[in-house]
A and B are shown apart, each in its own frame.
Chain A
Amino acid sequence: MRKSIIPGFGLTLGFTLCYLSLIVLLPLAATFVETSKIGWPAFWHIVTAPRALAAYGLSFGASLVGAAINFVLGTLVAWVLVRYHFPFKRLLDSLVDLPFALPTAVAGIALTTIYAPNGLFGRPLAELGIHVAFTRLGIVVALTFIGLPFVVRTVQPVLEDLDRELEEAAASLGAGRWQTFARVVYPAIAPAAITGFALAFARGVGEYGSVIFIAGNMPMRTEIAPLLIVTKLEEYDYSGATAIATVMLLISFALLVGINGLQRWGGGRAESDAKEEPAMRPAFGLGG
């Protein structure tokens, strides 16, 4: 490789590494070092306590359900936005990113107000015997909201680039519309949809702000894992909070590796007309 004449490599890389170490790596290292001080038996005791297990189970379960709802309806929304024309389509398309841009506390109080027993949706649902706010169902509603843009925004560009001739070929060979979708369109968009699902799931597991208002926050029943960390901190139980946080960090890293793998899988399939579209990636991050 010839030497680049472009200047500033040492300066920019040095600054990048220093800033990264100070803001991100040092605090994360502190967490792992503090965890190692707890000792294995005490650590295991904290992270497998029934209350902790219930919290992981709830965070995982509710995120899984929310991501599954978004997998189905997000794919449908992407399809409708790419293939059909209808009034206010551009407006709705822009609004899909709202959960990324709206602060989670705002989303939290708005959803709680709507689904509270005297709220706009809460009242008619309560009459049907369905209670949303302050139950696990409420957590699923909040996580569905938070994860909504991921599947839409991962599937949309793939659908736009999809060659319509493949569908015409399938149809002229006698496939029905549903069969064409299931056998031709779906396999092409599946990697993107699964990536979106995984992103929505990862975001849901760490989500805090939008959930705590609607959740009710009862230990063992409606207490999510990030809330358990906050509760332990407020009780000055630093080792408890640190141990749970380490479990969450390890889960985050595992999900990150999995999502990178999924994206490589999806990228490999779309290699033929791979064009980088940075603006279309979900870029608002996971968490809140």
Chain B
Amino acid sequence: MVNAIPASFAPAVSESPLVKRLLIGVSVLFLGVFLLVPLGCVFAIAFGHGIAAYLASFHDPDTLSSIRLTLLAAGIAVPCNLVFGVAAAWAIGKFEFFGKSLLISLVDLPFSISPVVAGLTYVLLFGSHGWFGGWLSAHNVQIIFAVPGIVLATTFVTFPFVARELLPMMSAQGNDEEEAALTLGAGGWQTFLKVTLPNVKWALLYGVILCNARAMGEFGAVSVVSGHIRGLTNTMPLQIEVLYNDYQFVPAFAVASLLALLALATLVVKSAVEWRSAVLERGTK
């Protein structure tokens, strides 16, 4: 310890400035090398040949159709999981019943499954050799190597996000306010909209944002069910792979830069929600 006062008089409850600077230095270096450099790399290569080349990347019809498909898949998967998340959080958060903790584990299950395995499970159900494959082809319905499979795979991997954010909030709020509203004559739906929803709206927003970021960025599960048909079943992450493997680096990183911006926007919203809940917590104390 490099203290002016002998250690016996001044208990060492903080590190010497030298150690402090060293620890900060190592941390910043680690975060810089692993986070800032890859992030910077995406934009540096996307704009490496000028803004005109960057914008030209988005004239490719296959790229445009991949953007449309990603928006479509997220546009279906996120609302479905939002409705599920609210229903699951209401059932689990507001009531006591047998098997509750098992149900919570099952809701979390898709988080711990490799996305490739998730994609495979749908191939086994709906693929041409799968359980429903015969019936589906007899009725001319294609799910695997088509848009419905991509939507299903996206729904699977983003399944728990909204429920997981809402559940702790709903159970922490308790039932008192809802019971008061119901006693005063409010209907169930009215109680949910006017009492429950305002209490959990930030957690809900946060869950939806996370769900959306993952839905638009999912790679492994979608890759297995997509079949990689250019212009038809490639989402943005799959289009990045196609372009990158074709050595079209500027277009690949241009598409990647859109997803990186989405990631940054997600982090901004996350910080804002956390800051807000910290302010609210301080306010109630």
Residues of A within 8 A of B (CB): 1, 4-9, 11-13, 15-17, 19-20, 23-28, 30-31, 34, 73, 76-77, 79-81, 83-84, 86, 90, 92, 94-99, 101-107, 109-111, 113-114, 120-121, 144-145, 148, 164, 167-168, 171-172, 174-177, 180, 202, 205-209, 213, 225-227, 229-230, 233, 238, 241-242, 245, 248-249, 252-253, 255-256, 259-260, 276, 278-279, 283-288
CA distance A188 to B36 in the complex (A): 31
Task: Please report the C-alpha to C-alpha distance between residue A99 and residue B165 in the assembled complex, in whole angstroms.
Answer: 19
A288 to B35: give the CA distance in the assembly, Å: 17
Q: Are A120 and B41 in contact (CB under 8 A)?
A: yes
Classify chain B's interface size.
35 or more
- Which of B56-64, B110-118, B134-142 contacts the other chain? B110-118
Interface string of B183-218 (1 = CB under 8 A from A): 100001000100000000001001000100110111
List residues 5-38 of chain B with CB under 8 A from any CB of chain A: 7-8, 11-15, 19-20, 23-24, 26-28, 30-31, 33-38
A-B pairs with lowest CB-CB distance, top 9? A103-B217, A206-B114, A171-B11, A27-B121, A209-B219, A7-B188, A208-B220, A285-B111, A101-B263
A136 to B110: give the CA distance in the assembly, Å.
27
Residues of A contacting B264 in the complex (Cβ-Cβ under 8 angstroms): 101
Nearest to A114 among chain B residues (CB) is B41
Q: Can you pick out 5 interface pairs between chain A and chain B where the beta carbons lie within 8 Å of each other?
A: A121-B37, A175-B12, A208-B116, A238-B129, A260-B105
Q: Which of B8, B109, B117, B161 contacts A283 (CB 8 A)?
A: B161
Given A23-B155, A101-B263, A101-B267; A144-B116 close (CB under 8 Å): no
Which residues of the other chain, A, contact B115 by a CB distance below 8 angstroms? 206, 208-209, 226, 287-288
A106 CB contacts on chain B under 8 angstroms: 42, 217, 237, 240, 256, 259-260, 263
Structural contact, A167 and B27, CB atoms closer than 8 A: no
What's the least CB distance linking B203 to chain A, in Å? 7
Check if A23 sits within 8 Å of B156, measured CB to CB. yes
Beyond A6-B182, A110-B256, A242-B124, 12 extra complex contacts between A and B, CB < 8 Å: A6-B95, A9-B91, A28-B121, A31-B124, A73-B30, A101-B270, A106-B260, A111-B38, A145-B38, A241-B120, A249-B113, A288-B217
Query: Quick one: given A31-B120, A209-B219, A276-B168, are A105 and B94 in contact (CB under 8 Å)?
Result: no
Docked Cα-Cα span, A8 to B1, in Å, equals: 63
Inter-subunit contact B90/A12 (CB<8 Å): yes
Do A229 and B36 touch (CB < 8 A)?
no
Residues of chain A within 8 A of B125, CB atoms compared: 26-27, 30
By a CB distance below 8 angstroms, the chain B residues around A102 are 38-39, 217, 259-260, 263
Query: Do residues B87 and A80 form an inter-chain contact, with CB atoms below 8 A?
Result: no
A171 touches B12 (CB 8 A): yes
Q: Among B7, B31, B123, point to the contact of A96 (Cβ < 8 A).
A: B31
B246 at interface, CB cutoff 8 A: no
Number of A-B contacts (CB under 8 A): 316
Which residues of B have CB within 8 Å of A103?
A: 216-219, 236-237, 256, 259, 263
Does the CB pair A8–B256 fall under 8 Å?
no
Assembly CA distance A233 to B221 (angstroms): 13
Greatest chain A CB density within 10 A among B23, B38, B253, B260 is at B38
Residues of chain B within 8 A (CB-CB) of A79 are 23
By the criterion CB–CB under 8 Å, are A8 and B26 in contact?
Answer: no
Cα distance A175–B1 in the bound complex, in angstroms? 12
| Distance between Cα atoms of A102 and B264 in the complex (Å) | 8
Most buried by B among A23, A84, A167, A180: A23
Q: How far is the CB of A5 from chain B (nearest CB, A)?
A: 5
Is the pair A4, B161 in contact by a Cβ cutoff of 8 Å? no
Q: Once the chains bind, are B219 and A288 in contact (CB under 8 Å)?
A: yes
| Contact among A27, A105, A255, A284 with B122 in the assembled complex (CB-CB below 8 Å) | A27
Complex contacts, A77 vs chain B, CB 8 Å: 27, 30-31
Does B130 belong to the interface (CB within 8 Å)?
A: yes
Complex-state Cα separation, A90 to B274, whole angstroms: 12
Q: Is B266 an interface residue (CB 8 A)?
A: yes
Bound together, the chains give a CA A288 to CA B263 distance in angstroms of 14
Is B107 an interface residue when CB atoms closer than 8 A count as contact?
A: yes
Taking a contact as CB atoms closer than 8 A, the residue among A15, A30, A167, A205 that contacts B124 in the complex is: A30
Q: Are A252 and B270 in contact (CB under 8 A)?
A: no
Inter-subunit contact A144/B34 (CB<8 Å) = yes
- Are A30 and B131 neighbours in the complex by a CB distance under 8 Å? yes
CB contacts (< 8 Å) of B15 on chain A: these are 177
Q: What A residues does B103 contact at CB under 8 A?
A: 16-17, 20
Contact with A along B136-168 (1 / 0, CB 8 A): 000000000000000010011101110011001
A15 near B27 (CB under 8 angstroms)?
no
| Nearest-neighbor residue (CB-CB) of A227 within chain B | B116
A267 to chain B, nearest CB (A): 13
Tell which of A9, A121, A276 touches B172, judged by Cβ atoms closer than 8 Å.
A276
A225 to B113, CA, bound (A): 13
